[in-house]
Structure 1
Amino acid sequence: MKTLKLLIGLTLLLVVSAFAFAGFGDFANGYDLDDAVSDFKLKNTSGAYVSLSDFPDAKGFIVVFTCNTCPFALANEARILALDQKYKSKGYPVIAINPNNPELKAGEDFEAMQKRATSQDYSFPYLYDKNHTVYSEFGATKTPHVYILNRENDALLVKYIGAIDDSVRDASTVTKRFVENAVEALLNDEHVKPAITKAIGCSVKA
């Protein structure tokens, strides 16, 4: 009897482990640090299609997976705008991408994205990952989820993955500005520390 219970327990553990490593709830095969990022072509809220190759003079990018309705994303909206205004002129523009499926989450359709971008006066592209492929290539699981890319030898390499700062809910209590520190390190040819932090937000609905 004890042997049977042990076998059942081991079987359940193997099943759970298989699901975890298959990527349920997280992407096992997303980009890691120093991976080269493939270019993509996504529709901007302006109606034009945008690719990373459209910015040949960029030193890199601050890629942010975000959305219209997640309270964590909305709490970081002003911070995302501030990052673009501070670093676009220094060669690191923000590229925002909405990975959510509007059939699974109301308020995430393209028209709602257009309204949001207009009402908040977005200074950066806000792209629609309609086929939900780009976010999975990156391995994004949350909104917001940030990837900082740096151009090296004609490739865009991942140099930071994680949160914007250490207070996703309240900008007034921020003590560590992860993204700002990472971009400043790259501008000064220094190593990014920390290079990975935990992204806190709503799970991607796709």
Structure 2
Amino acid sequence: MKKVIKFISGGLLILLVSAFTVTKTLNNGYKIGDVAEDFSLKNIDGKMVSMADYKNAKGFIITFTCNTCPYAVMYEDRIIELNKKYAPKGYPVIAIMPNNVAVKPGDALPEMKKRAEEKGFNFPYLLDEKQSVYPKFGATKTPHMFVLGKTNKGNVVKYIGAIDDNYKDPSAVTTKFVEAAVDALLKGNPVPETETKAIGCSIKV
């Protein structure tokens, strides 16, 4: 009987530890209101890019994306449109490729450059080569969106999640989460919906 109790207690302890670990993992990364650290990552043209380079920016639309995820591919045109619409207003898009290229060779820098040229990317497409940036943001999917607002404290996280509510069909979208967030910030209003669930492929480590 004592052995059974010990076994149950041990099993319960393992479950509790596992639950804590999962919770801890889910809670990693920036939260709404956190100040995002700057980064310096290699662009497809070989130059290093950081948020500090954008002296006149009012904020940023950061997307973690890649070549090989079908969800990311479906959103490429919409990301191009986001930059076309909001970069002139002070909210440029910065795209970051977070995958381990040893696992996904189709996401290596030469392939990133090829894809950007094919699609006509109008924003920097950076490689998180050491996979050190995406964990700070808490990105888990491609695509995973973060809207930052520039303040006296730094670049504050204002929105985290999906681009909109329909990845399959742009014409069926009813809510454009990123656009709503940026529009609100441009007007000096609170972001209407600060967090949504990112839909996409898991980041490959």
One fold, TM greater than 0.5?
A: yes
Post-superposition offset of 1:5: 5.4
Post-superposition offset of 1:46: 1.2
Q: After TM superposition, where is structure 1 displaced by more than 6 Å over at least 4 residues in a row?
A: none
Among all aligned residue pairs of Structure 1 and Structure 2, give the percentage whose two residues are the same amino acid. Answer: 50
Amino acid corresponding to residue 19 of structure 2 in structure 1? S
Identify the structure with the greater helix proportion.
2
Post-superposition offset of 1:9: 3.6
Amino acid corresponding to residue 157 of structure 2 in structure 1? V
Post-superposition offset of 1:91: 0.4
CA RMSD of aligned residues (A): 1.4
Runs of 5+ consecutive residues of structure 2 not aligned to the other structure: none
Post-superposition offset of 1:199: 0.5
Say whether the 8 Å CA contact 2:160–2:196 is kept in structure 1.
yes
- The 1-side partners of 2:101 and 2:168 are apart by 24
Query: After alignment, is 151-160 or 127-136 more displaced?
Result: 151-160
Say whether the 8 Å CA contact 2:39–2:50 is kept in structure 1.
yes
User: CA deviation digits over 1:75-118, x for unaligned, max 9?
Assistant: 10000000000000000000000000111123011110010111
Post-superposition offset of 1:17: 1.5
- The 2-side partners of 1:94 and 1:160 are apart by 14
Q: What SS class does the counterpart of residue 69 from structure 1 fall into?
A: coil
- The 1-side partners of 2:10 and 2:146 are apart by 41
Aligned counterpart, 2:143: 144
**What is the TM-score with the length of structure 1 in the denominator?**
0.94
- The 2-side partners of 1:182 and 1:82 are apart by 15
Query: After alignment, is 12-21 or 128-137 more displaced?
Result: 12-21
User: CA deviation digits over 1:178-203, x for unaligned, max 9?
Assistant: 00000000000000011011111100
Say whether the 8 Å CA contact 2:35–2:153 is kept in structure 1.
no
- The 2-side partners of 1:18 and 1:87 are apart by 40
Q: What SS class does the counterpart of residue 6 from structure 1 fall into?
A: helix
Aligned counterpart, 2:117: 118
Amino acid corresponding to residue 75 of structure 1 in structure 2? M
Amino acid corresponding to residue 117 of structure 1 in structure 2? A
Say whether the 8 Å CA contact 2:64–2:139 is kept in structure 1.
yes
1:94 aligns with 2:96: no
Aligned counterpart, 1:191: 190
- The 1-side partners of 2:32 and 2:17 are apart by 29
Matches within 5 A, 1:1-206: 1=1, 3-4=5-6, 6-23=8-25, 26=26, 28-153=27-152, 155-206=154-205
Post-superposition offset of 1:152: 1.0
Runs of 5+ consecutive residues of structure 1 not aligned to the other structure: none
Q: What SS class does the counterpart of residue 36 from structure 2 fall into?
A: coil
**What is the TM-score with the length of structure 2 in the denominator?**
0.94
Amino acid corresponding to residue 96 of structure 2 in structure 1? I
- The 2-side partners of 1:4 and 1:167 are apart by 50
